[in-house]
């Protein structure tokens, strides 16, 4: 860009660093970008709004009772156990931890988890793969213990993965547990699912760097961190409400006014 400015005759001389400084101070920075997915679900507002209401302990306009619970659930797939070909060297003064680049694959777990969003209680299990049967085992792990087995209703917020998708899933789950209420989010809206926040914490705090000699060691790390996190966890301070959602959707639907020179 500096060369183009000089060739155009705008200035006689100008340095690259000066152009960079000007661009970096400008409000519009065309070299930066963010990827996003535009809401395409025709029922996005309704589906997302139900989830946001549940986070505020409201369902269909009515407050939840004390014996009604809200769980957020999902699967973190393909968590690999990578055995490094040379032992990891610990952190030293003025020297970062050194992790061997090459590794052997020792298999992978699918981690299925459910988070009680208002009580900060975690339930999780490692499975060889995802599917209806593994998800059913997670459901049983939760729904057969107090207070959920005696609850009036237990709302399960979930995505549209193949393990728990559509009307057949709703019928199957409610036939097994009459008090369970599946709540499916919109397509491509995992940011509405609070358990995803926990997955990101797990990844940063317990799974990075990935250096596990076996699947057993990886499972021990995952479930050990789950127990530790639950012992210190507080409910997430979720602040994005239905009103915020409506404002965002209105903004996306409002045509932009092009500047006129």
Q: Are 77 and 110 in contact (CB under 8 A)?
A: yes
pLDDT over threshold 50, residue 261: no
Q: How far apart are the first and last CA of the chain?
A: 23
Q: List, edge to edge, every strand of the sheet that includes 153-158.
A: 121-127, 103-116, 68-84, 153-158, 180-184
Task: Please tell me the distance from the alpha carbon of residue 105 to that of residue 93, in angstroms, as a whole number.
Answer: 31
pLDDT in tens, 154-205: 999 999 998 898 888 999 999 999 999 999 999 989 999 999 999 999 999 9
Locate 17 and state its tokens.
């660093």
Q: In this structure, how many other beta carbons lie within 10 angstroms of the beta carbon of residue 152?
A: 11
Q: Which residues pair with 138 in a beta bridge?
A: none
Superfamily of domain 44-88+100-247: Ribonuclease H-like superfamily/Ribonuclease H (3.30.420.10)
Tens of pLDDT, residues 51-99: 999 999 999 999 999 999 999 999 999 999 999 999 999 999 999 999 9
How many C-beta atoms surround the C-beta of residue 247 within 10 A?
Answer: 11
Of 170, 172, 183, 161, the C-alpha closest to 110 is 161
């Amino acid at each position: 860009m500096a060369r183009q400015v000089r060739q155009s005759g705008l200035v006689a001389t100008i340095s690259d660093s000066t152009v960079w400084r000007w661009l970096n101070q400008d409000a519009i920075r065309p070299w930066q970008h963010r990827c996003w997915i535009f809401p395409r679900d025709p029922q996005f507002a309704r589906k997302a709004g139900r989830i946001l209401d549940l986070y505020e302990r409201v369902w269909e306009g009515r407050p939840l009772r004390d014996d009604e619970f809200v769980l957020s659930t999902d699967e973190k797939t393909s968590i690999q156990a990578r055995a490094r070909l040379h032992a990891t060297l610990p952190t030293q003064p003025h020297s970062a931890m050194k992790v061997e680049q090459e590794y052997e694959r020792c298999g992978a777990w699918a981690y299925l988890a459910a988070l009680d969003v208002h009580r900060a209680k975690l339930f999780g299990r490692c499975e060889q793969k995802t599917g209806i049967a593994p998800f059913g085992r997670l459901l049983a792990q939760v729904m057969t213990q107090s207070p959920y087995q005696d609850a009036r209703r237990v709302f399960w917020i979930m995505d549209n993965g193949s393990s728990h998708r559509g009307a057949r899933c709703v019928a199957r789950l409610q036939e097994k547990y009459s008090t369970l209420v599946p709540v499916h989010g919109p397509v491509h809206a995992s940011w509405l699912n609070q358990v995803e926040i926990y997955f990101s914490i797990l990844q940063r705090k317990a799974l990075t760097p990935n250096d596990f000699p076996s699947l057993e060691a990886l499972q021990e790390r995952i479930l050990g961190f789950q127990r530790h996190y639950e012992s210190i966890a507080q409910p997430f301070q979720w602040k994005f409400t239905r009103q915020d959602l409506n404002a965002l959707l209105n903004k996306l639907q409002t045509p932009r006014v092009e500047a006129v020179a």
